[in-house]
Amino acid sequence: MSIGNFAVGIGVLVIAGIIEPLAETFEVSLSTIGLLVTVYAVAYALSSPILVSLTGRVSRRAILAVALLLLFVGNVLAATAISYAIVFVGRIIMAFGAAIYTPAATATAAALTAPEDRGKAIAFVYTGFTAANALGLPLGTFLGLNYGWRLTFWLLAIMAAMSAGFLWRGLPNDV
């Protein structure tokens, strides 16, 4: 679950590191590209309470897989975008996945551990997000600036798909 949160964490702010090549590709201003951070934040903030409450009775295993699938789809859209609008839509889809994933991963980690170990389990989930800010963001920026910004989104898509596979195989059906 920590690896999924690593992908979520990079996805949140990686735009800041690849803002110039994105602006050049789509021939828009830096502030227009900056809206990709804003739309992600707004979509996440507005959708998280709604999506989490709507999925409360669904298995966490399924929720985590669907959330990571949304991250995958959003990143593939961004990686293959031929227009700014497509990246914009991809960012919204990514935000919906992240809005479900982090709360569900936290709840799942707590549910799978003994009461005395729940704090450690939750901290481990958030370690992925912390590592994303400390390591993933600079790496995503480096790769995006040196090998093309699309590579950053492709790598995030691959991480989301791999995480979904690991969680689907590793989590019990009844979680």
Mean pLDDT across 117-132: 89
pLDDT at 57: 87
pLDDT at 174: 76
pLDDT at 1: 85
Q: How confident is the model at residue 62 (pLDDT cuts 50, 70, 90)?
A: very high
The residues, any chain, with a CB within 8 Å of residue 156's CB and separated by 6 or more, are 7, 10, 11, 14, 71, 75, 140
What single letter denotes the amino acid at residue 89? V
> Mean pLDDT score of the chain, rounded to an integer?
92
The answer to whether residues 79 and 150 touch, using CB atoms and an 8 Å cutoff, is yes
Going from the C-alpha of 4 to that of each of 71, 126, 128, 141, the distances in angstroms are: 9, 10, 7, 19
Q: What is the pLDDT of residues 7-44, one digit of tens each?
A: 888 888 889 899 999 999 999 999 999 999 999 999 99
The answer to whether residues 162 and 147 touch, using CB atoms and an 8 Å cutoff, is no
Calculate the dihedral angle through the C-alpha atoms of 136, 138, 141, 145, rounding to the nearest 10 degrees.
-130
pLDDT higher than 90, residue 56: no
Going from the C-alpha of 119 to that of each of 9, 21, 93, 125, 169, the distances in angstroms are: 20, 41, 30, 10, 24
Q: What is the pLDDT of residues 146-170, one digit of tens each?
A: 999 999 999 999 999 999 999 999 8
Q: Token pair of 140, please?
A: 């995503």
Going from the C-alpha of 148 to that of each of 22, 120, 144, 169, the distances in angstroms are: 9, 37, 5, 33
The answer to whether residues 9 and 159 touch, using CB atoms and an 8 Å cutoff, is no
Mean pLDDT across 98-120: 92
**Cα gap 155→161, rounded to integer Å:** 10
* Residue that the structure tokens 């497509």 belong to: 86
